[in-house]
């Protein structure tokens, strides 16, 4: 095998009440990597498309290159990897752009070498890439991008990940308003101390959400998608958030919140037509404020990355 192309999906992290411990994968959009083996030991990024020139070709500064470098070093592999990265995810959107690149690249490298590791075993390399990108090895984008479905991060030392397949009818609308929020800025404003009564509400909601997903109880999923700790603070960074959320709920969404650190907003539902209407309603709310946006409507991706072809 000389080359392989791999698609890795966008992800929604936090899922309202699951800050830093829960995420899920979408079927679309996502990033694609074309990778091949090389005789030298280097990891090289030969081209990047779809990023308007914003991402570095230096493999040591790009999550795709960082993940593959850690993977090859772990195996003691003498050959290198050459990468072509096709970005379809907007940068800084709250949709796991850096994680998708890392996952697609390391899965491609693993396939090229005959798949010596399972996908679960590849996750630590993607976490190192996330650390390089944002200073912390958060798994709530990388793990669902790698494993598909919903993933609960129970702990990190060692990584303790619980995959939760999505109920069959669950679908998602994501609206990406054309504003920029840096992850570090979205973290700086968070409270370090939380009232006990808020924590109790949040614990109940995350427990209810996990139970609802496992039981396929859509009513419970909707009742549990409430964030009393993070959303009230971060939503202040997103003009029109409250209007967009209310529009989604009025259109029939089960629940609506911020995707990752924003600015994207997601809504979940169990009726495709309603969730499409919810997405359009969110877009209209932003348009009323003269904010352009992109809309993605997707089923939940229960598979994770896809090997598109190899040759």
User: pLDDT digit string (tens) for 102-127?
Assistant: 999 999 999 999 999 999 999 999 99
Q: Is 100 annotated as a binding residue?
A: yes
In a domain, 251, yes or no: yes
Q: What is the mean pLDDT of residues 152-174?
A: 93
Q: d(Cα 18, Cα 210) in Å, to the nearest integer?
A: 10
| Same domain for 221 and 112 | no
Can you tell me which residue has the tokens 């993605």? 296
Strands 3-13 and 306-310, by their bridges, are: antiparallel
| Same domain for 156 and 271 | no
Q: What's the whole-number average pLDDT of the chain?
A: 95
Determine which helix (DSSP H) or strand (DSSP E) holds 213, and give its type and residue range. Answer: helix 196-215
3-class DSSP state of 249: helix
Domain count for the chain, please give it: 2
- How high is the pLDDT of residue 238? 96
Q: Is 97 annotated as a binding residue?
A: yes
Q: d(Cα 238, Cα 251) in Å, to the nearest integer?
A: 20
Q: Known catalytic residues?
A: 130, 183
Among the residue ranges 66-80, 123-137, 238-252, 255-269, the one predicted with the least confidence is 123-137
| Same domain for 179 and 161 | no
Q: Which two tokens stand for residue 18?
A: 């699951």
Judge whether residue 310 has pLDDT over 80: no
| The domain boundary residue, chosen from 122, 145, 165 | 165
Q: d(Cα 72, Cα 77) in Å, to the nearest integer?
A: 5
In a domain, 308, yes or no: no
- How high is the pLDDT of residue 140? 95
| Same domain for 192 and 157 | no
In a domain, 252, yes or no: yes
- How high is the pLDDT of residue 168? 93
3-class DSSP state of 170: coil
| The domain boundary residue, chosen from 165, 192, 213 | 165
Domain containing residue 237: 171-299
Instruction: Name the packing angle between helices 63-75 and 97-112 (round to 10°).
Output: 40
Judge whether residue 181 has pLDDT over 90: no
| Same domain for 294 and 195 | yes
3-class DSSP state of 76: coil
In a domain, 311, yes or no: no
How far are the Cα atoms of 62, 251, 306 from residue 193, in angstroms, in the given order?
34, 35, 41
| Same domain for 185 and 127 | no
Q: Is 216 annotated as a binding residue?
A: no
Among the residue ranges 109-123, 176-190, 286-300, the one predicted with the least confidence is 176-190
Q: What is the mean pLDDT of residues 256-265?
A: 96
| The domain boundary residue, chosen from 144, 165, 186 | 165
Provide the pLDDT confidence category of residue 1 given band limits of 50, 70 and 90: low
In a domain, 307, yes or no: no
In a domain, 135, yes or no: yes
Q: What are phi and psi of 168, to 5 degrees?
A: -55, -40
Q: Is 94 annotated as a binding residue?
A: yes
Least Cα distance to 299 among 276, 281, 280 occurs for: 276
Q: What is the mean pLDDT of residues 255-270?
A: 97
pLDDT in tens, 78-108: 999 999 999 999 888 999 999 999 999 999 9
In a domain, 309, yes or no: no
Q: Is 199 annotated as a binding residue?
A: no
Q: Is 99 annotated as a binding residue?
A: yes
| Same domain for 22 and 95 | yes
8 Å CB contact between 48 and 55: yes
Provide the pLDDT confidence category of residue 134 given band limits of 50, 70 and 90: confident
Judge whether residue 232 has pLDDT over 70: yes
Share of the chain above pLDDT 70, in %: 100
| Same domain for 197 and 65 | no
Spell out the residues 6+ positions from residue 137 whose beta carbon is closer than 8 angstroms to its own: 127, 128, 130, 131, 156
| Same domain for 123 and 161 | yes
Domain containing 135 — which CATH number? 3.30.230.10
Q: What is the mean pLDDT of residues 156-184?
A: 91
Domain containing 182 — which CATH number? 3.30.70.890
Q: Is 93 annotated as a binding residue?
A: yes
Q: What are phi and psi of 289, to 5 degrees?
A: -100, 10
| Same domain for 142 and 8 | yes
Least Cα distance to 106 among 120, 93, 90, 91 occurs for: 120
Q: Which two tokens stand for residue 33?
A: 């990597």
Share of the chain above pLDDT 90, in %: 86
| Same domain for 181 and 115 | no
């Amino acid at each position: 095998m000389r080359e392989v192309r791999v698609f890795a999906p966008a992800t929604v992290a936090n899922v309202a009440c699951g800050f830093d411990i829960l995420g899920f994968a979408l079927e679309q959009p996502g990033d694609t990597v074309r990778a091949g083996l090389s005789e030298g030991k280097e990891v090289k990024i030969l081209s990047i498309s779809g990023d308007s020139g914003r991402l570095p070709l230096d493999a040591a500064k790009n999550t795709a290159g960082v993940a593959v470098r850690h993977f090859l070093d772990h195996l003691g592999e003498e050959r290198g990897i050459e990468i072509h990265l096709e970005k379809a995810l907007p940068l800084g959107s709250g949709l796991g752009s850096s994680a998708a690149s890392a996952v697609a690249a390391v899965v491609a490298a693993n396939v090229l070498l005959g798949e010596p590791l399972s996908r679960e075993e590849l996750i630590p390399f993607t976490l190192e890439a996330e650390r390089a990108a944002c200073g912390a090895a958060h798994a709530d984008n990388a793990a669902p991008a790698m494993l598909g479905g919903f993933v609960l991060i129970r702990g990190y030392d060692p990584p303790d990940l619980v995959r939760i397949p999505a109920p069959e009818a669950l679908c998602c609308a994501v609206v990406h308003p054309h504003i920029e929020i840096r992850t570090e800025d979205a973290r700086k404003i968070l409270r370090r101390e939380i009232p006990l009564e808020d924590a109790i509400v949040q614990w109940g909601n995350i427990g209810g959400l996990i139970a609802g997903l496992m039981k396929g109880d859509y009513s419970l999923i909707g009742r549990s998608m409430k964030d009393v700790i993070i959303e009230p603070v971060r939503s202040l960074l997103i003009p029109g958030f409250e209007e967009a959320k209310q529009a989604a709920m009025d259109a029939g969404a089960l629940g609506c919140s911020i995707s990752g650190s924003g600015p994207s907003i997601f809504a979940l539902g169990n009726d495709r037509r309603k969730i499409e209407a919810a997405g359009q309603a969110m877009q209209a709310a932003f348009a009323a404020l003269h904010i352009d946006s992109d809309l993605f409507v997707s089923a939940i991706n229960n598979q994770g990355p896809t090997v598109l072809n190899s040759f």
